[in-house]
Amino acid sequence: MSNKRVWLLVFVSAALCGAAVAQTPTTAPAGVPRSALQKLEGLFSRPDLSLSRTEQRDQFIKQMLDVITVGENIEKQYPEAENLYEARRHMLRAAAFLATGDRSGKAHNRLIAVARRIAGSSAAPAEKVEADFYVTLNALRPPGAKPPGENDAETVKAIQAYDARYAETPAAAVGKVHALYLALNTQQRQLVMDLVKELETKYADNEEVRSVLRRLGRSPDVGQPFAAELTKLDGTKVTLPGDLKGKVVVVDFWATWCDPCVAEIPHMRELYGKYKDKNVEFVGISLDRAGQKEELKEFVEQRKMSWIHTYSGMFWNDPTVQKYGVESIPSIWVVGKDGRVVSTNARGALQETIERALRAGA
């Protein structure tokens, strides 16, 4: 199991601003000026999309190196600032990106140095939890080192200590997730199972926890309400579960460019014909790219897909896709008459799942 992925960066577009020099109060340490923090945020802007992928990556690497340089200058200028953690948060993101795939060890060492400064500071637990993760993982399994033995007592103890540092804080759920990452990276399988169970029983209402559980093949959404605000191809709205409450709803995340999705259409059409008069409705949530609404309409009409179709024009940024962590398509869900999820993986057993949902709502 590889280290926690650090490629999933949130690119924040902001104007690059020069760092204004604040007058240092005589009674309290100066805070890091907002303009200086905006400069750091601006360095996370998406690279020029007209460049090749290699050129974009090179440009972004340069931007991340600039984040480190600007951040270090802020640390020197405002060493006692109460909001210094905000600058260091950006530095940690940049250092984590630069450490990805680093073979020299230089970028990794930089990451750990930044993480240690955050973890050893007086910042709030929510600001320290990820930095502490990197420091702890580095101690348990340095780069290039083999994982400790399974159920290694000292490793388990260290991970439990990490978890305990955040257990009674607002960062408890995030701390539990990072403890799970530590257990996965050190291959402590029994502890992994214990932590997954805790996440499912105590923190399943936390969106980050739910996202992690989905990636692990769990089903945290089953039994939970399915809620979505969708726009049909004719521009009218459909709200779930409200507008279809009392019906079994098949929710199909798909796209016209997805060959496996297209291959499912005859089966979907057959089942829709069989169940549309039996209190069952189908709702397609299209992930077709922005500006393809008319092509989507034509596609649906030609293939006689006569159920409800919705489209946001936001591709993978569709709000419902983001909310429910859909990472691949086709993804076929079934929602019961009560508006709660019956299955998040009904493809291959859709008819059986529909029948089960109908029986449950009888």
Quickly tell me which residue has 């006692």 as its tokens.
Answer: 80
Q: Among 26-40, 101-115, 165-179, 187-201, which stretch is predicted with the lowest mean pLDDT?
A: 26-40
Query: What ranges in the chain are assigned the alpha helix state H?
Result: 34-42, 53-77, 84-99, 106-119, 125-140, 153-166, 172-185, 189-202, 207-215, 259-275, 293-302, 319-323, 350-360
Write the pLDDT tens digit of every residue in 277-306.
999 999 999 999 888 999 999 999 999 999
**Dihedral angle of Cα 9, 14, 17, 23, to the nearest 10 degrees:** -80
With beta carbons less than 8 A apart as the criterion, state whether 361 and 337 touch. Answer: yes
Write the pLDDT tens digit of every residue in 6-24.
322 222 222 222 222 233 3
pLDDT of residue 361: 60
CB pairs under 8 A, 24+ apart, for 289-298? 289/257, 289/313, 289/315, 290/314, 290/315, 292/256, 293/233, 295/256, 296/233, 296/256, 297/233
Residue 4 has pLDDT above 80, yes or no: no
Tell me the C-alpha distance between 34 and 19, whole Å.
8
What are the CA-CA distances from residue 123 to residues 80, 127, 131, 174 (Å)?
12, 6, 11, 16
Task: Tell me 91's DSSP state.
Answer: H
- The CATH number of domain 228-360, selected from 3.40.30.10, 3.30.70.1140, 3.30.565.10, 3.40.190.80: 3.40.30.10
Mean pLDDT value across residues 23-50: 78
Tell me the C-alpha distance between 181 and 170, whole Å.
19
On the CB side of 19, CA atoms within 13 Å amount to 18
Phi, psi of 101 (to 5 degrees): 75, 5
Whole-number average pLDDT of the chain: 88
What's CA 84's distance to the chain center, in Å? 26
Quickly tell me which residue has 């019906």 as its tokens.
Answer: 247
**Dihedral angle of Cα 319, 323, 326, 331, to the nearest 10 degrees:** -80
Domain boundaries, the chain: 1-123, 149-220, 228-360
Tell me the C-alpha distance between 37 and 16, whole Å.
10
Quickly tell me which residue has 């439990």 as its tokens.
Answer: 160
How would residue 165 be classed by pLDDT, with cut points 50, 70 and 90? very high
Q: Measure the N-to-C terminal CA separation of the chain; round to a whole number of Å.
A: 45
pLDDT of residue 172: 95
Residue 160 has pLDDT above 70, yes or no: yes
On the CB side of 185, CA atoms within 13 Å amount to 23
